[in-house]
A and B are shown apart, each in its own frame.
Chain A
Amino acid sequence: MAEEKINLLEKRKAQVHEGGEFAMEAEKQSLAGSVSQRSCSFCGSRVVLYPIADAIHIVHGPIGCASYTWDIRGALSSGPELHRLSFSTDMQEKDVIYGGEGKLYNAISELIDEYKPSAAFIYSTCIIGVIGDDVEAICKKVQNEKGIPVIPVDSEGFKGSKKEGYKAACDALFKIVGEDEPDAQKVPKSVNILGDFNLAGEIWIIKDYYERMGVKVVSTVSGDGRVDEIRKAGRAHLNIVQCSGSVSNLAKMLETEYGTPMIRASYFGIEDMSKALYDVADFFDDDEMRMGAQRVIKEEVAKLMPQLAPYRKDLTGKKAAVYTGGAFKVFSLVRSLRTLGMDVVVAGSQTGSVDDYKLLTELCDPGTVILDDTNPLELAKYVKEKDVDLFIGGVKERPIAYKIGVGFCDHNHERKEALAGFIGMLNFAREVHSSVMSPVWQFAPRRAGKKLD
């Protein structure tokens, strides 16, 4: 087959920055037929609420949405594991015609009796909005009967991209907050860790650092999440919101209702992780805490650096492409890859804003291609043109890289390796190293320098 030339769709040109003056557009609805890598608002709310392990998650709609999200994430729990089960009302033709309210009522009631959860989240999928089931009324009814929160999640897929789903999830979460003791006192020197999902136990790593520097963690949302803990979220002094922004809406609501301020953090890479610890000490303006942070960082970095050295030696000068869901993660990845001696030459995200991309352009070397809401063809085009050695993305991006003979690392909600914290940096280095340095690439036509097809 002749070499295929991939051209940008006319209507997508404003969402790609190839250098020169910065004039990108972003935050637009995906172009129909563009084969966007994005998903829908159902996906967004499922991602955020999924890790709450003592709640049951019931997908109201036909079976697909529930099947495709069964035990899909790497979110770990230190106790119950209800989140790993997949419940659906599995709507049939007659339910669509006559409405699914009765079925939903029975489904929730029976599941609560069987699994004795602390709460139930009821996700509405696409067609529920159309057939008009009164999900809220049913939730109220079951809630009254069973005495646990039964919370509707407004997550019809067509309502928008993941971001709208994040918002729906935060609305749902906020219904639980403050449910216990109305006048509870704030816990001294305490924080909530928001926006981390405990993939491969990452929240345990972060929590350990904070606790070692003398900070109490009131709740974690939603990694290793428990309904009771979320109830208490109003008692913390500070909300630390992981960069992805998925739960920033919850943080905003906590700020309005409980006066709890928020700071952003990222736990990926040495620089961002250290900053996340210092920022908390600075917020409390507490010298003891500052020294605690310093001690943690010193200990961890002293352990880490010599271990990173051999990887750095091999990886220096190699090139990477990065495409993730949220934009902030890209910043951390650019820095982490630099720590390993690598350059990012293609970068982008599904949901970044114009400001995010502007910052990204400044952070990266000139000539780096910046992509918003891109698709397989564009990714393939730039990965090939820039001749990268590594692609970091999610499961859907993996075959794009592999097909053209490029190493790949997973950095999304499904990953099973902890990449956060200092230890995560070591895991990351290891994974990048094994992806880039594997001898298998010598057989890929790209490397062999000959065309096989």
Chain B
Amino acid sequence: MSCNCGKTCAPVDDAAHACTADDKAKCGCGPSGGNFTTAGTAEHRDSTSVHSVSSSEAGGKKLTGENFTATRNACKLCAPLGACLAFRGIEGCLPFLHGSQGCATYIRRYMISHFREPMDIASSSFGEESVVFGGRRNLFDGLNHVIEGYEPAVIGIATTCLAETIGDDVNMYVKEYISADAKRVNLPHILRVSTPSYAGSHADGYQWAVRAIVDQLAVDGPNEKFIGIFPGMVSPADLRHLRELMEDFEMDFSIVPDYSDPLDGPVWGDYHKIPAGGTPAREIAKLGRASAVIELASTIADKQSAASLLDEKFSTAVFRVGLPIGIRQTDKFCNVLEQITGRPLPAKHDAERGRLIDCYVDGHKYTFGKEVVIYGEEDFVVGMTAFCCEIGLKPVLCASGGKSGKLSECIREAAPELDPETPILEGIDFAEIEVAAFNLKPDLLIGNSKGFSLSRKTGIPLIRFGFPIHDRISGPRTLHLGYRGAQRLYDTIVDKLMEMKQESNDIGYTYI
């Protein structure tokens, strides 16, 4: 007799011992100590304990649960977080939130547990009177104190939903602030971006900020042999890899923004008010004269794209490719680089590509047909889906809390072989993903660590890629991009699948 989860638990000969938590843990179909029974058996749990799944849902075809008004366990964050991340990637920049103190503190706390690096974010610390009379005074005080305390080269101001709702005109305030202090020699660049959290997610906030940064810094001039790259919300390891690839193409370039050093730096001897690294403002200024810019984003709307803005303002040549996750997406990116630079793919990367294909061959049987649920930021989901499809995994749900309206179209384009029946859902939350997981019974979940409680409850293993990763240490160093990134993702996934295979039989083969 085996576990009734439908998978292959260690066989047990005594009915009384069927399906213990330990068995389930071994089988991989359930966590040890958990009280979860996979869908199909549709066991009701205490309705007050966790989200309950009714038998009709579990047995039926329902995919995302009831259409709830409330968002339950959101699969997204608010826009100012994305803006703060982008600002951290500008050299000498201190992110500054115009609004109440709590937003800055929560966002700091959230980012710190992913990056495990200092993440100082100033706030104009609204009180009740700022809500009534506007936040001008607080902004001026805040800027003064930030300049006095941090001596930043750049200050990046993003608005919170509160400042947006009371209608504070930050652009005007900043103009006033600068003109009142015109004589000051060391006044930092003050960048602004409007990030109402009710208008978009953290991924949007990131793009709005990149566009605003470029808008406020890039200036026209004679063309230069210089490439701009907008990398999207990727890991410090990804940014480093992009840098290496660009260097190997031997062309001047700038990655905007680049938080790889500020958010994954060494231990210091002294405390640094602002961590070293990031894209210098003067490099961003050069974007107006760039020979080309490449935007690694697929679901982006024109009105939030920094590349489109450069095109409008300076008629810059724009290339847009999705996040280069997997061979095909990376090929696209490298082709663009070959085209712009007139150089072939550097031998080092070509060799990595070759070894990667060799690994694809070695591991293809373990991945083929295994079903996965993929979730996260939209661009991440597009890239990850394309990658999964090319290694033979079968995405059974692609989901994001973002709402660009383009997710489906972009995925279908990047992964044409994806089963046309596979649902692609925008604006989803984890409660909905959970119902889907109960019904679809995938082999794996792929996404950030916010899927952990769902993984624990359903017993479906979670592979942590993307942002945020709060419950592992490797988040900032996880490489997703390029051939090398695909290698890392592939090894992680296949190792996990081999482990599952090994542990799901009672013999425990040592050669598999």
Question: Residues of A with Cβ closer than 8 Å to B?
Answer: 1, 3-4, 6-7, 9-11, 29-43, 54, 58, 61-71, 79-82, 84-93, 95-96, 103, 106-108, 110-111, 114-118, 126-127, 129-131, 157-161, 375-377, 380-381, 384, 394-396, 398-400, 402-405, 443-446, 450-453
Contact = CB atoms under 8 A, between A and B. Distances in A.
A34 B149 CA distance: 8
Contacts of A96: 161, 165, 196, 198
Given A92-B198, A453-B266, A40 B73 contact: no
Contacts of A58: 70
B118 interface: yes
Contacts of A126: 99-100, 102-103, 160-162, 165
Contacts of A129: 131
Interface string B182-200: 0000000000000011110
Contact of B271 (A39, A86, A159, A377): A377
Given A35-B149, A40-B102, A446-B269, A68 B77 contact: yes
Interface in B313-358: none
A68 B109 contact: yes
Interface string B146-161: 1011100000000011
B483 to A, nearest CB: 32
A70 B69 contact: no
Interface stretch (B41-49, B241-249, B497-505): B41-49
B272 A1 contact: yes
A38 to B, nearest CB: 6
A17 B112 CA distance: 28
A111 B162 contact: no
A377 B71 contact: no
Contacts of A127: 161-162, 165, 198
Given A88-B71, A92-B198, A451-B270, 7 more contacts: A33-B142, A34-B149, A90-B74, A118-B48, A157-B103, A398-B112, A446-B269
A35 B139 CA distance: 13
A33 to B, nearest CB: 3
A381 B149 CA distance: 12
Contact of B105 (A38, A88, A381, A453): A38
A133 to B, nearest CB: 12
Contact of A131 (B79, B165, B270): B165
B201 A63 contact: yes
Given A158-B100, A402-B116, A405-B267, A64 B197 contact: yes
A405 to B, nearest CB: 5
B472 to A, nearest CB: 15
A178 B51 CA distance: 30
Nearest to B165: A127
Contacts of B106: 39, 43, 64-65, 68-69
Contact of A380 (B116, B145, B271): B271
B289 to A, nearest CB: 30
- Nearest 9 Cβ contacts at the A-B interface: A40-B102, A64-B78, A33-B142, A33-B145, A380-B271, A445-B269, A32-B142, A107-B70, A90-B71
Contacts of B414: none
B145 A32 contact: yes
B109 A63 contact: no
A4 B48 contact: no
B447 to A, nearest CB: 15
Contacts of A117: 48
- Of B76, B103, B161, chain A has the most CB atoms within 10 Å of the CB of B161
Interface in B54-106: 66, 68-74, 76-81, 96, 99-106
Contact of A89 (B70, B77, B101, B109): B70
B268 A403 contact: yes
B259 to A, nearest CB: 14
Given A377-B149, A399-B118, A87 B76 contact: no
B112 A40 contact: no
Contacts of A82: 48-49
Given A61-B161, A70-B73, A107-B70, A32 B148 contact: no
A33 B141 contact: yes
A442 to B, nearest CB: 12
Contacts of B303: none
Contact of B196 (A80, A93, A377, A398): A93
B48 A404 contact: no
Given A10-B148, A33-B124, A157-B100, A395 B269 contact: no
- Of B104, B161, B269, chain A has the most CB atoms within 10 Å of the CB of B269
B215 interface: no
A130 B198 CA distance: 14
A387 B506 CA distance: 55
Contacts of B283: none
A11 to B, nearest CB: 7
B165 A68 contact: no
A86 B104 CA distance: 20
Given A38-B101, A54-B48, A161-B101, A90 B70 contact: yes
A79 B280 CA distance: 53
A84 B121 contact: no
Contacts of B48: 54, 79-80, 82, 115-118
Contact of B102 (A42, A80, A399, A443): A42
Contact of B150 (A64, A70, A116, A377): A377
A395 B119 CA distance: 11
B174 to A, nearest CB: 14
Contacts of A158: 99-100, 126-128, 130-131, 162
- Of A3, A65, A127, chain B has the most CB atoms within 10 Å of the CB of A127
A384 B270 CA distance: 8
Contacts of A118: 48
B17 interface: no
A9 B109 contact: no
Contacts of B127: 29, 158, 160
A9 B145 contact: yes
B109 A395 contact: yes
B301 interface: no
Contacts of A29: 125, 127
B125 A32 contact: yes
Given A33-B143, A384-B270, A157 B66 contact: no
13 contacts: A9-B148, A64-B77, A64-B78, A64-B79, A69-B106, A108-B70, A118-B48, A126-B100, A158-B130, A376-B118, A399-B118, A443-B267, A445-B268
A80 B51 CA distance: 11
Contacts of A400: 118, 271
B131 A87 contact: no
A36 B101 CA distance: 8
- Of B96, B267, B431, B450, chain A has the most CB atoms within 10 Å of the CB of B267
A40 to B, nearest CB: 3
Contact of A32 (B124, B166, B199): B124
Nearest to A88: B71
